[in-house]
Amino acid sequence: MTPLFGHLVGRIARDGPLTVAQFMEEALGNRDHGYYMTRDPLGARGDFVTAPEISQVFGELLGLWCASVWQSMGSPTAFRWVELGPGRGTLMADAVRATRKVEGFHTAAQIHFIESSPVLKEKQRETLGSVGMTNGEWHRDISQIPDGPVICLANEFFDALPVRQFQRVVGGWRERMVDLNETKNGLRFMLSEHAAKPHFIPDAVQGAPDGSLVETAPTGMRMMHTLAERLVKSGGAALIVDYGHAVTSVGETLQAVQDHTFAEVLADPGEQDLTAHVDFQALAEVANRTGATCTTIMEQGTFLNSLGLPVRARQLAAAADSIEQGRDTAARIDRLTNPAHMGSLFKVMGLSSPELVPLPGFE
């Protein structure tokens, strides 16, 4: 088994079965053996690829979105330009390049990354340096960002946060747990012996039929609350891009990916990526209760097109050095917007302090 498995055996022996969220926290963030703590998972040599790594257009358009928001804020002389879970820093680097000609924007921008992986922090530092930005700061939590107006980007961040799973059985809901299997050489799912407290289950699915499974993301909800509270207090806006569903619903979405292929969730803890679909309705409800204003939830393809993607695609096609390069560029952009690829599954939601409406792209 994996190096993390021995640690999990000891923890389960001491504390009993883990919630799915506790298992994800260990598998992804364990200090010594967690997936994100020990490697760069992105790209062809990693396990998965995100939109910024597919095409520069993604980061360019989001960067221009940020510049437009900054101008609508009255072009403050200083603001916190924040990215949650910035990967290798590719999105921010493309955003920086795209906004060089926006007068005053770079002078005002103070870049802050929310990142827990020491490996990825070094990648991000190198990437920022390659575009001449040396004023970046790193934090583990949104609450650590210094005071001031905020413009925030979060691409494929919330999907990697731990989820709890609850299954409907006769008479109520039980939490799904992770335990050792019968031979103690692997892990298995099992249901808690105790009924789940009603407030753990979203109102929208309380009446789901027996056998239904629902996922909740308490860490994601806490982070959304902190972010929305900050926007209301200091002013600014945030853009959330992730794969998920616009309406709270039942269904298991927790998945593992290894070598660009789906894998068994419990098979290799610490050696594979774990994610779950984002419940955008739940995020919006938290933000609204906090006093922030949320946009409608749009599909990624629709949103990128509304920001002018077709114009940028034509520019890149005209600048291609060869027919092959032009085709490759077009294929990458199509992957971002085509409903058969990322265009429909991935959703986009904006949130802001109440005075900053409408946000660009959502008009």
Per CATH, the architecture of 37-161+217-250+273-352 is what?
3-Layer(aba) Sandwich (3.40)
Query: Averaged over 183-198, what is the pLDDT?
Result: 95
239 closest CA partner among 89, 90, 61: 61
Helix 56-72, helix 323-337: angle, nearest 10: 60
Buried b (16+ CB within 10 A) or exposed e, 246-258: bebbbebbbbbbb
Q: Among the residues of the chain, which ranges form H helices? A: 3-15, 20-29, 51-54, 56-72, 90-98, 105-108, 118-130, 218-234, 280-290, 300-306, 309-319, 323-337
Give the tens place of pLDDT for each residue, 100-159: 999 999 999 999 999 999 999 999 999 999 998 888 999 999 999 999 999 999 999 999
Q: Given this model, what pLDDT does residue 47 score?
A: 81
Decide: helix, strand or coil at residue 225: helix
Q: Given this model, what pLDDT does residue 135 score?
A: 81
Helix H or strand E encompassing 167: strand 164-169
Cα 203 to chain centroid, rounded = 24
Give the tens place of pLDDT for each residue, 245-264: 999 999 999 999 998 899 99
Q: Given this model, what pLDDT does residue 44 score?
A: 74
Give the tens place of pLDDT for each residue, 145-165: 999 999 999 999 999 999 999
Q: Given this model, what pLDDT does residue 326 score?
A: 93
Q: Given this model, what pLDDT does residue 325 score?
A: 93
d(CA 242, CA 331): 21
Tokens 């077009």, residue?
330
Q: Given this model, what pLDDT does residue 209 score?
A: 96
Q: Give the residue extent of every domain in the chain.
A: 37-161+217-250+273-352
